[in-house]
Chain A
Amino acid sequence: MEISKLEQTGPCEWQIAPFGKMNVPAVIYADQDLVEDMDEKVFEQVTNVATLPGIVKASYAMPDAHWGYGFPIGGVAAFDAEQDGVISAGGVGFDISCGVRAMLTNLTREQIEPLKKQLADALFAKVPAGVGSKGDIRLNPQEMDGMLAGGAEWAVRQGWGDEADLERIEEHGRMAGADPEQISARARKRQRKEMGTLGSGNHYLEVQEISEIFDAETAKGFGLKQGWVVVCIHCGSRGLGHQIGTEFLKDMAITAPGQGISLPDRELACARLKSDIGQRYLGAMRAGVNCALANREIIGHLTREVFAQIFPGSKLDLLYDVSHNTCKAETHRTNGKERQLYIHRKGATRAYGPGHPDLPRGLMEIGQPVLIGGSMGTGSYVLTGTKTSEQKAFSSACHGAGRAMSRRQAYKKWRGRQVIDELAQQGIIIRSPTGRGVAEEAPGAYKDVTAVVDAAQTAGLANKVARLKPIVCIKG
């Protein structure tokens, strides 16, 4: 992106003053290198979002922003329903509530190392991943409705997870306001064999070592100890979420003109929050969130079963479960007063700072854990929300590195076998049903997540707490 088009307003903060039909400025949080590396599509999309009705304060792009669907991936935008604000299916995405959870083991690297191959094989056998994979769970219509309304809370009641997990999940594990009636027969059918499955693409289940601590006090509060092992699970709402996105994106594209919404590009399809289709999407999206929360809770449970089998006496405690494709109704302070806003985070993570009332007791003084997935090479990060993140971007931060090259380029450059062998030399075991999938997810295909989290910290969005290095990686 041409840096001359932006005005630098802080160490990692750039502004685009409103032009054309923009209602608010666009703000990009990133260092200069990251900004220059962003393609022009990010400029186009972050300024397009700023033209939407009812947008409040600014259209934001996180340090990992890249070309998305109407919204940039790494895009954040808040809307006021009282100002005829909109909700956008593209601003949530096709994988509703895709997110990451981190579960802390009571095991060290040294304890995992001699059994890591068995662990990899057992996890790969237990958690279905990849195209055509099927879970064992089948829900009848009432159970499906229960899951759509109950999320992870429902999963725990069914015996898949622990009660103690719930306070460590956004929305306490159950997104309120879900409307299962808005979930079509097609979406339900698509989900039928997918409960408890990982999916494919950039989804993963990783066993990781806490390799570096940046903030000792916060790490202690989170329960992170250097050299100990965590498990991170990255996946979303599976076929159900994809089908909801597919259906509503088209409906919104058709109804938007009739609602007097002038779309700079049809991909920004959205609807007034105070409209029938807006409310129906809200109800459907919230059910999609519950599906993702239930899914990660189930996979967490399956992971616990594997660990109990290979490391008897071990336990996994949920640190936190974050989502990075959502639209949430939250109370925020703007212009000196509090109001309810609908915050879209598309490839962006909520990052509540210390003292936020929605945080569980054990984390309230510290801040919300923000889990940032990196590549198999660079590893991942645990960050924490800051006191300044609300004012910066409605308590939002980045979500991951973003790709450095397309899937086609990655597949031309690497072979799956080669990637697997190179990572094995570094002590990392990969299990995946296909070689091409691994090649497309090669570490070199992704940008450096370290630069992204450093920029997020400098910008005041979230602070680094710890770095996680992969030991075992299950991919779909």
Chain B
Amino acid sequence: MNKTLVMLPKTPPRDHRQTAWDLFSHDADIGVRGYGETKEIAFEQAAYAMTGVMTDPEKITPLKSVDISCEGPDDALLLYEWLNALVYEMATRGMLFSRYAVDIQDNTLTGRAWGEPVDIDRHQPAVEIKGATLTELRISQEPDGQWTAQCVVDV
């Protein structure tokens, strides 16, 4: 089977939209939401929002990249897998990320995240993310074409 070769940028994207994400309220925990003109951008922005739960993303220098590959039977579960893969990489590498590049083909996501080791004094991370949940997990597209990707994360 021929699969289109996925080419992710080798250096962190410079022209990333810093304001195309927000956090929404959930009593015990917190929701992350990303917007974009493509599904991939919405996924990137949702990841950016997840960083925003912990710290100001601007404090994180994109020094080193980590590759991620995951699958999901539908877009929503693909977002779930993407965010949880990031949670896993942050936890096991002791890193925080602030730049993302995503490519989605059918049910497969190929991604790259850039960041640096956690520096408590500089980053002051407020809280650890346990995982992205199925709660309020939704990928949607507006009539004007804009994509939204969101879910609640357990902290």
Residues of A within 8 A of B (CB): 39, 41, 66-70, 73, 90, 93-95, 130-132, 134, 186, 189-190, 192, 199-201, 239, 242-243, 245-246, 249-250, 253-254, 266-267, 269, 402-403, 406-409, 411, 433-437, 439-440, 476
Contacts and interface: CB of A to CB of B under 8 A. Distances in A.
Contacts of B91: 190, 239
Given A250-B80, A269-B134, A440 B28 contact: no
Contact of A407 (B55, B84, B137, B155): B155
A131 B125 contact: yes
A414 to B, nearest CB: 12
B54 A403 contact: no
B134 A408 contact: no
Contacts of B80: 250
B interface bracket (residues with beta carbon within 8 Å of A): 35 or more
A324 to B, nearest CB: 13
Interface of B: 23, 25-30, 53-55, 73, 76-77, 80-81, 84, 87-88, 91-92, 94, 117-118, 120, 124-128, 130-135, 137, 152, 154-155
A69 B135 contact: yes
A408 B23 contact: yes
B133 A94 contact: yes
A239 to B, nearest CB: 5
Contact of A131 (B27, B76, B118): B118
Contacts of A239: 91-92
B134 A90 contact: yes
B28 A436 contact: no
B26 A437 contact: no
Contacts, number: 126
A440 B25 CA distance: 13
Contacts of A134: 94
B128 A130 contact: yes
A131 B134 contact: no
Contacts of A435: 124
A408 B30 contact: yes
Given A130-B120, A201-B127, A407-B30, A246 B25 contact: no
Contacts of A433: 120, 124
Given A41-B27, A130-B128, A434-B120, 17 more contacts: A90-B134, A93-B154, A130-B120, A131-B120, A134-B94, A192-B92, A200-B125, A201-B128, A201-B155, A245-B130, A250-B134, A253-B77, A266-B137, A411-B126, A436-B124, A440-B126, A476-B128
Given A267-B134, A408-B30, A440 B127 contact: yes
Contacts of B154: 69, 93-95, 242
